[in-house]
Amino acid sequence: MKGTRAGLRYAKAVLAHAKEQHTLEEVNQDMESIFKTIQGSSELQYMLQSPVIKLADKKAALTEIFSGMNVTTEGLIGILVENNRINLLGAIAEKYSELYDALRGEQAAIVTTAVPLTGELEKKVLLKVQELTGKKAVLENKIDPTIIGGFVLRVGDLQYNASVANQLNNLKRDLLNNSFVA
C-alpha cells in the first residue's frame, strides 16, 4: 500500500494518543472499520486519491461515512485533511491495527485454503502459529479454490506454502529442468 512509511508514523502517533486517552480498543474498532470500508469501495479509494476533489468535500464525505467514530479518529481525519494527507487514511488504519495487535502480544495469521477450515483444524493452526512465533494469533481464513488443496499460511513476513498447486508447480519446474540435462 502506498504511503506505508508515513502511514506508520501517523499510526504510531494515533496509538500513543489513544493510549493516553484510554481509548485503544475503541480507536482500533474505528480503524478496522475504516480499513474494511476503504478496501471494499473503489469509489472511496478514488476519492481519497483524487487531487481534483476538494479537501473540504473529502472531509465532509468521510465525516458522513464514518459518523459516530471516536474523537481521536475524528481528529485524525481532521489533521490528515489539514496536512493534505487524507490519501494515507487506509494505510494508517491498517498499520494502527497491526501496532495494536503487537501491543497486546497478538498478530494476524492468514491461512488460505481451498475450502473453509473446520473449528478443530482452526485450533490446530492457531496452536502451531503460537508454537512457531511465541505470540497469540488472530486467524483469518481466506478461501481460494485455485490452490486445489493444502494451505498457505502467512504470519507477518513469514509464509509457508503447503498447497497442492505449489507442489504441482514445483514438480513441473523440476521436470522441465531435468529434461534438458539428459
What is the distance between the alpha carbons of residues 89 and 45, in angstroms, rounded to a whole number?
Answer: 10
Q: Are 88 and 6 in contact (CB under 8 A)?
A: yes
pTM over 0.75: no
Scored b (16 or more CB within 10 A) or e, 132-157 reads eeebebebebeeeeebeeebbbbbee
Pairing relationship of beta strands 106-113 and 136-143 according to DSSP bridges = parallel
Q: Torsions phi, psi of 129, nearest 5?
A: -60, -45
Q: Which CATH class is domain 4-102?
A: mainly alpha
Residues near 69 by beta carbon (within 8 Å), at least 6 away in sequence = 30, 33, 77
- Residue 42's pLDDT is what? 94
User: For the chain, where are the alpha helices, taking DSSP H only?
Assistant: 4-21, 24-39, 42-49, 55-65, 71-82, 89-103, 119-133, 164-179
What is the distance between the alpha carbons of residues 124 and 130, in angstroms, rounded to a whole number?
Answer: 10
What is the distance between the alpha carbons of residues 16 and 10, in angstroms, rounded to a whole number?
Answer: 10
Q: Say whether 108 sits in a helix, a strand or coil.
A: strand
Each residue's pLDDT expressed in tens, for the chain with a length of 182 residues: 456 789 999 999 999 999 999 999 999 999 999 999 999 999 999 999 999 999 999 999 999 999 999 999 999 999 999 999 999 999 999 999 989 988 888 888 889 998 998 989 888 888 888 887 888 888 889 999 999 988 898 887 788 888 888 888 888 888 888 866 55
What is the distance between the alpha carbons of residues 122 and 118, in angstroms, rounded to a whole number?
Answer: 6
Helix or strand run (H / E) with residue 134: none
Domain spans in the chain, listed from the N-terminal domain onward: 4-102, 106-179
How far from the centroid of its chain's Cα atoms is residue 157's Cα?
12
